[in-house]
A and B are shown apart, each in its own frame.
Chain A
Amino acid sequence: MTLPSLYVFSALTGCRLSFAAVLRLLVATVVVNLAVAASLGPILAFFTLSTTSYPFMIVLNVGLLGAAGFVALGFLLKVLRQLSDAARRDAIADAEDEGDPATLARAKAEPDSTYAMFYIWVIIYGLVGAQMGWLLRPFIGHPSAPFTWFRARTGNFFGAFFHHLSELLGVND
């Protein structure tokens, strides 16, 4: 869902990546996300076995998956930074070969903070990811509710998360 916008943002910032390369990059990011999430599996399993509180498990899952997401996005930004640095070096090398001082000055003046645009994309990705998790719920399953594949499409991730968080903190009882 966020692949088109990632491609558009990367094209805007002059990252000479093809659509297939962006797709590859995004798949690699998802793999990193899953690997980190899977490595948190033992901790989650231990807490699942020793906890009866449903809100706590929800908040813990959000925390662990959020941490995995941050590592994955850090990986994505690192790769993009390396790519844009490489592109910048290439541009400077090209300009030096040409021997035109104006082109060289322009290549050197090119701001390397263009990937700041990607932070916008990261926010979009995070929002979509969180809400997608909400649409596909339940993942844990309320202890007293019967088993279902999906639940009715009501509410949103953030409202529910803060509801459970406040329930856990005992604010609204």
Chain B
Amino acid sequence: MRSLLHIADALLRGGHVAHRAALLIILVGAPLYGAAAGTFAFERPERALQVLYSAIKLPILLLLTTALCLPVLFVVATVAGRREAFALIIRAILAGQAAMSISLASLAPFVVFCYVSAITYNTAKFINGVLFAVATIVAHIVLRRQTRELRARDPGVGVLLVAWGLLYVFVGIQLAWTIRPFIGQPGAATTFFRSEPFTNAYVELGRVLGGLARARR
């Protein structure tokens, strides 16, 4: 555990980490945040299940989103003639995901503090969304830092990584929506997935925004 903290510290300071260490950090750090996110409205014993479910689902969210976006990165990097750099890019991406897990874990106490301050369910969702956005930015900063030499030699890699980051966010939002709840609506039964059929996050968002626009008119 101590050595893992040392590795995490080195990663935040711009050092390189092995694949296995990065994976381990994701599998330890992400569940910490997930567990904290699941403590909302923790007044009945069955809500403890939500803590467990969210802790399991958070690393799934990070790793599955990365996995879904990797094939296209590999093919585009190959077509663009950057196949040799791909191993380095993968290492940087894993390091970015590890840094995202570390920053999420570091925000876990803050989430619990917010929940204790008797906020509403909607505010809880909003805060979690903002914290996720912050952690995603951290991931991208670390990704860029890890590829600094590579980008200096070859600026095309930077463009490739920005495009990849946008795709990651696009897929990640839909995946998070699909495997929700992470917070769990107070009063509703605690479930691993929502029982209703899968829907699309962007369509739902459009519906909410459309409703707001109509209400204004």
Chain A residues in the interface with B (C-beta under 8 A)? 32, 35-36, 38-43, 46-47, 49-53, 56, 71-72, 74-75, 168-170
Q: Which residue of B lies closest to A55 (CB)?
A: B203
Question: Beyond the given A42-B68, A43-B171, A56-B203, could you list 17 further A-B residue pairs with CB under 8 A, ordered by the A residue number?
Answer: A32-B79, A38-B75, A39-B74, A39-B76, A40-B71, A43-B68, A49-B198, A50-B198, A50-B200, A51-B174, A51-B200, A52-B197, A52-B199, A56-B200, A74-B79, A168-B206, A169-B210
Q: What are some 25 contacts across the A-B interface (CB < 8 A)?
A: A35-B75, A36-B72, A36-B75, A36-B76, A38-B75, A39-B74, A39-B75, A39-B76, A40-B71, A41-B71, A42-B71, A43-B72, A46-B171, A47-B200, A50-B174, A50-B177, A50-B200, A51-B174, A52-B197, A52-B200, A53-B200, A56-B200, A71-B80, A74-B79, A169-B210
CB neighbours (8 Å) of A32 from chain B are 79
B69 in contact (CB, < 8 A):
yes
Instruction: Check B207 for interface membership: any CB of A closer than 8 A.
Output: yes
Main secondary structure of the interface of A (DSSP, over half): helix
Interface status of B61 (Cβ within 8 A of chain A):
no
A33 and chain B: residue at smallest CB distance: B79
Chain A contacts for B190, CB-based, 8 A = none
Residues of chain A within 8 A of B42, CB atoms compared: none
Interface of chain B: mostly helix, strand, loop or mixed: helix
Nearest chain-A residue to B170 (Cβ)? Answer: A43
Q: How far is the CB of A153 from chain B (nearest CB, A)?
A: 30
A169 → B minimal CB distance (Å): 6
Q: Pick from B72, B199, B206, B210 the residue with the most CB of A within 10 Å.
A: B72
Q: A41-B71, A43-B69, A170-B210 are in contact. Are A51 and B199 (CB under 8 A)?
A: yes
B90 at the interface (CB under 8 A from A): no
Within 8 Å by CB of B79, from A36, A52, A53, lies A36
Is B175 an interface position by the 8 A CB rule?
yes
Contact pattern, B 78-119, Cβ under 8 Å of A = 1, otherwise 0: 011000000000000000000000000000000000000000
Q: Is the CB of A170 within 8 A of B206?
A: yes
Determine the distance from Cα of A35 to Cα of B80 in the docked complex, in whole angstroms.
Answer: 13
The smallest beta-carbon distance between A37 and chain B, in angstroms, is 9
Query: A109 vs B68: C-alpha distance in the bound complex, in angstroms?
Result: 49
- A53 contact set on B, CB distance < 8 A: 199-200, 203
